[in-house]
Amino acid sequence: MIFLGPLLVFFLFIAPGIRLLTLASRTGQSPEFWGGLYFVGASIGLSGRVLGSSLLGTQPELADSINVIGHVAFASGTIAMTIFTLRVFHPSERGAQNLAWAIIAAILATSAHTLIGGYASMENSYSMVATNLARLLPTSWAFYESVRFWRAMRRRDNLGLADPVVTNRFLLWSIWTGAVTALPLIALAFRLIVIVTLGNEPDERLLGTELAAVLLRLIGVFSVTIASLAATALTLAFFPPAAYLKRVRGRTVSAHEGGTR
């Protein structure tokens, strides 16, 4: 059972990664390449971090090694996401390029501090909190740009000037990036409570308290809900059933017919 969570995380991310990299090999387009690298890095990084955390109590040395690999892979994936967002939404804007470099620098600096300082398995350390916050910047930026672009596409779609499937895909990408930003924020909130309550040294005393029980239940409910929403959006964006595509196109056609009567 200890491998079930990491395997689910791995397969959730690796499928769109393979699809995007395969597409990039055919088209030679850089956005697909960087998007594929994000999903591959996230699949290895997040599954590794989940597995490493699960093994920490029984096999600490193995857990440390797996956590280091997970950190390196996930940091690489989040850097790829930063470049993906830049190439898709602002391929030639100087301000966006500066923002991308600032995000990449933050990811590299915080990840290096976590790895060199020996905090790779210390979930409730200040270094880990800073590292995870830095890694949320790429998906936060992607979420903002996706929502902004989806709203513009929706206005064009209402006038019959945009592809409804592409417009819907930006909505699904907004849901996905919003969800993968919200999930770590929930975990970070719990870590900050641990730090404020017990300090930043590893300590499991909080796990037996009533406060922890309530927090863990709330985290569980929110996490399952958001994860389910994220998985659904990702599946519909990359592997949409024919019936779903037909419905998206039909809804637009119906709206246009209604507007001409």
CA distance linking residue 32 with residue 20, whole number of Å: 5
78 vs 157 pLDDT, higher one: 78
> Is the pLDDT confidence value at 118 over 80?
yes
> Is the pLDDT confidence value at 261 over 70?
no
What pLDDT, on the 0 to 100 scale, is given for residue 260? Answer: 46
> Is the pLDDT confidence value at 72 over 80?
yes
What pLDDT, on the 0 to 100 scale, is given for residue 131? Answer: 93
Rg over alpha carbons for the chain, rounded to the nearest Å, is 20
What is the CATH classification number for the domain harbouring 225?
A: 1.20.1070
CA distance linking residue 235 with residue 227, whole number of Å: 12
pTM of the model: 0.85
Give the helix ranges, DSSP H, for 159-241: 164-198, 210-238
Which residues are CB-contacts of 192 (< 8 A; sequence separation ≥ 6)? 129
C-alpha pair distances (Å), 23 with each of 58, 72, 125, 164: 41, 25, 40, 21
Nearest of 84, 83, 67, 176 to residue 132 by alpha carbon: 67
Which of 33-42, 220-229, 250-259 is the least confident region?
250-259
What's the pLDDT tens digit per position in 138-172?
A: 999 999 999 999 999 998 888 878 899 999 999 99
**Token reading at 93:** 């804007």
What pLDDT, on the 0 to 100 scale, is given for residue 255? Answer: 53
What's the pLDDT tens digit per position in 3-57?
A: 777 888 888 899 999 999 999 999 888 999 999 999 999 999 999 988 888 888 7
Kindly provide the b/e burial profile for residues 79-90, where b requires at least 16 CB atoms within 10 angstroms of the residue's own CB: bbbbbbbbbbbb
What pLDDT, on the 0 to 100 scale, is given for residue 254? Answer: 56
Domains of the chain: total: 1
To the nearest whole number, what is the mean pLDDT of the chain? Answer: 85
What pLDDT, on the 0 to 100 scale, is given for residue 202? Answer: 47
Q: Do residues 82 and 31 touch, judged by C-beta distance below 8 A?
A: no
Amino acid identity of 229? Answer: L
Please give the residue range of the domain that contains residue 46. 4-260
> Is the pLDDT confidence value at 133 over 60?
yes
CB atoms within 10 A of CB 102: 12
